[in-house]
Structure 1
Amino acid sequence: MKFIRRCLPLLALWTGAVLAAGVDPLTADIDAHDAQRFADLMKDGAVPTAAALQRGYLDGAGPGVKVFTPGRIRDAQHLAKAVANKPDVYRYAIRACLPQVPALRSDLRAIYLGFAGLLPERPLPAIDVVFGAGNSGGTASNDRQVLGLEVICPPGTTPEQFRTAMRGFFAHETVHTWQDEETPAALADLLLSQALREGGADYLATLVTGAIPHQDRDAWARPQEARLWQAFQQDRQALKGSRDDVNKLIASPHFRRWFVNCGSAPEGWPCEAGYWVGMRIAEAYVARASDKRAAIRELIELRDPAAILEASGYGL
């Protein structure tokens, strides 16, 4: 009985850390209300105009669409053009994948329970499924992850492929809600910082889903890991030696070889191979750490990417 009384405050602290802010993993759900509002605008083969999208989708939209609007949807005119250019992409996602979303609730809760056990002090985000302008599968704010259905479910996606992709997004985007803005040390080492930001999220996704994200990219990268690391280090040093501002660095071929290149990756490469490099560094860092939970928290905070790389022993 004494043991139980001593443990009760700790249990209350753990429970409070999970439930006091954010979503309860036991009742987590996927809000597809705005996705359905969009789908209603495309009934009977309709291709909605900018005015229809403004009135029926953007006006009165929930927080997910609002998160997606500034850098992705942009405005009704931009969205209308994207839909008109590829209406069958949207129709397929509406027909084949939107009806599957409610069945993914149990996957989301399992992933959130995993995160609650791993990092009980971190609030779990709300989640929205929306339709965007075909340019983003997902993004995150401080308290919400938002997924773009037309990107996650392109024509030909099977139910199992959709489920696998959504599980990966549930886990990966959750980590992004916990990450702070880049520190000066991170910005000074931009390629490494981006690799650890995205690859760290992929690494944590493997812990709570039991699967490596983008297994086709993993299968391509592992046999040539040493060569990829050499190329990554060359591009990293080129960016570190530049005096250009961050926007110019992001637009440079040294950065675009590894990130922001889906549809324009180097010939024979999968898109965004930098995620994989960062995942491998994160994996090595945690494997070497005596306190693995502390190491995971350091990966999320990402105060000094170079120190994490050195401590990981990766590439030595």
Structure 2
Amino acid sequence: MLVAGYAFASEDPLRARIQSQDAERFAALFRAGKVSGAELQAGYLDGAGRGVQIFTPNRILNATHLAQQVAKRKADYAHAVATCLPMVNGLNAELRAIYLAYRGLFPEFPLPQVHLVFGAGNSGGTARADAQVLGLEVLCKEGTTAAQFRTTMRSFFAHETVHTWQSAGNGPVADRLLSSALREGVPELLAELVTGADPDPDTEAWARPREADIWRRFSEDRVLMQTGDDKEKRAAYLRWFSNAGQRFDGLPEGWPAELGYWVGRNIARAYFTQASEEREALLTLIAAKDPAAILQRSAYAPR
């Protein structure tokens, strides 16, 4: 059905299916050993579906880059092809359960198609207004068990759906660190609500005892993002986002990647908890038009 204000059809939560055609096309090439740049271009990128079209500009980049990453991370791709891709049809019920929950919460929002692809090892997922796209080789790395994969996919279905409802945010942002924290933390909170599970229990276990120190560091970097030079701003941002696999001097041992998601979820949860109208609070968090006001009203300030 079409939802008012949107130019594309919403998925029916009772019939939603994971669109895995692109992933199956890649898997056929991989099994046949046809993973050179030319072969991936002809058999995968040419004639790509919506998922690969979305993933290509900033993630896959081009066939040469994809071929290099396949060669570098061959074990991850092999595990995803052999172990997790055959499980995908069995996850349609999980997707439908999450979509039924969202339809009950937000009947005015459309539900996007879910596309499964193989990317260049650098992204588990992204979203546009009409689609969420999941990178299988990242979500199902070598060693991932069937139970872990199912849990991860449920979390990503829930998280990326919320991104499709958020504004694009292409213009300049006055408070980039706080805005980014809410942009990622709100989907984490919604994922927690509709799945009934912590989307990142490892980060939660590490960070909760250190919450006050983490908030102090975040607050300092929030100021630095607005007052520092370009180098300082970049370093401040990377301490919280876009930092998978990186290690920064001066941070506590074990500092998790993308810790800004956790900070944003704490702020969003505090705002949601104090609200008298919970659904309206969630709509305010999704829109996040005034991040500073959300923070102030949340009264989040761990000591």
Could you say whether these structures have the same fold, taking a TM-score greater than 0.5 normalized by the shorter chain as the test?
yes
Question: Are residues 1:302 and 2:288 paired?
Answer: yes
Long gaps (5+) in structure 1 = 1-13
SS in 2 for 1:42: helix
Long gaps (5+) in structure 2 = none
Q: Percent identity?
A: 54
CA change 1:56–1:15 in 2 (3 A) is closer
Task: Note the C-alpha offset of 1:62.
Answer: 0.6
Higher mean C-alpha displacement, 280-289 vs 264-273: 264-273
How many residue pairs match? The answer is 297
Alpha-carbon distance between aligned partners in 1 of 2:54 and 2:220, rounded to the nearest angstrom: 35
Q: Could you say what the CA RMSD is over the residues aligned between the two structures, in angstroms? A: 2.1
Task: Note the C-alpha offset of 1:270.
Answer: 1.2
Report Cα offsets for 1:84-105 as digits up to 9, x if no partner.
Answer: 1122211111001000000000
Alpha-carbon distance between aligned partners in 2 of 1:86 and 1:139, rounded to the nearest angstrom: 21
CA change 1:183–1:67 in 2 (3 A) is closer
Question: Do the aligned residues in 2 keep the contact of 1:265 with 1:272 (CA within 8 Å)?
Answer: no
Q: For residue 209 of structure 2, what is the aligned residue in structure 1? A: 223
Q: After the TM superposition, which residues 49-128 of structure 1 pair with which residues of structure 2 at under 5 Å, given as runs?
A: 49-128=36-115
Question: Are residues 1:237 and 2:223 paired?
Answer: yes
Question: Do the aligned residues in 1 keep the contact of 2:139 with 2:152 (CA within 8 Å)?
Answer: yes
Q: For residue 7 of structure 1, what is the aligned residue in structure 2? A: none
Question: Are residues 1:259 and 2:277 paired?
Answer: no
Report Cα offsets for 1:140-184 as digits up to 9, x if no partner.
Answer: 011100000000000000000000000010000000001103386
Q: After the TM superposition, which residues 181-196 of structure 1 pair with which residues of structure 2 at under 5 Å, given as runs?
A: 181-182=168-169, 187-196=173-182
Amino acid at match of 2:132: Q
CA change 1:118–1:265 in 2 (3 A) is farther
Q: For residue 276 of structure 2, what is the aligned residue in structure 1? A: 290
**TM-score, normalising length: structure 1:** 0.89
Q: After the TM superposition, which residues 27-42 of structure 1 pair with which residues of structure 2 at under 5 Å, given as runs?
A: 27-42=15-30
Task: Note the C-alpha offset of 1:265.
Answer: 4.1
Alpha-carbon distance between aligned partners in 2 of 1:215 and 1:80, rounded to the nearest angstrom: 33
Alpha-carbon distance between aligned partners in 1 of 2:228 and 2:126, rounded to the nearest angstrom: 29
Runs of 4+ displaced beyond 2 Å:
14-17, 181-184
Q: After the TM superposition, which residues 112-191 of structure 1 pair with which residues of structure 2 at under 5 Å, given as runs?
A: 112-182=99-169, 187-191=173-177
CA change 1:275–1:121 in 2 (3 A) is same
Alpha-carbon distance between aligned partners in 2 of 1:49 and 1:161, rounded to the nearest angstrom: 31
Task: Note the C-alpha offset of 1:57.
Answer: 0.4
Report Cα offsets for 1:16-35 as digits up to 9, x if no partner.
Answer: 77x98311101000011110
Question: Do the aligned residues in 2 keep the contact of 1:47 with 1:84 (CA within 8 Å)?
Answer: no
Of the two, which has the highest radius of gyration?
Answer: 1
SS in 1 for 2:114: strand
Task: Note the C-alpha offset of 1:47.
Answer: 5.1
Task: Note the C-alpha offset of 1:15.
Answer: 10
Question: Do the aligned residues in 2 keep the contact of 1:238 with 1:254 (CA within 8 Å)?
Answer: yes
CA change 1:281–1:49 in 2 (3 A) is same
Larger helix proportion, structure 1 or 2?
1
2:189 to 189, 198, 203: 203
Q: For residue 5 of structure 1, what is the aligned residue in structure 2? A: none
Alpha-carbon distance between aligned partners in 2 of 1:164 and 1:288, rounded to the nearest angstrom: 29
Alpha-carbon distance between aligned partners in 2 of 1:15 and 1:36, rounded to the nearest angstrom: 29
Amino acid at match of 1:41: L
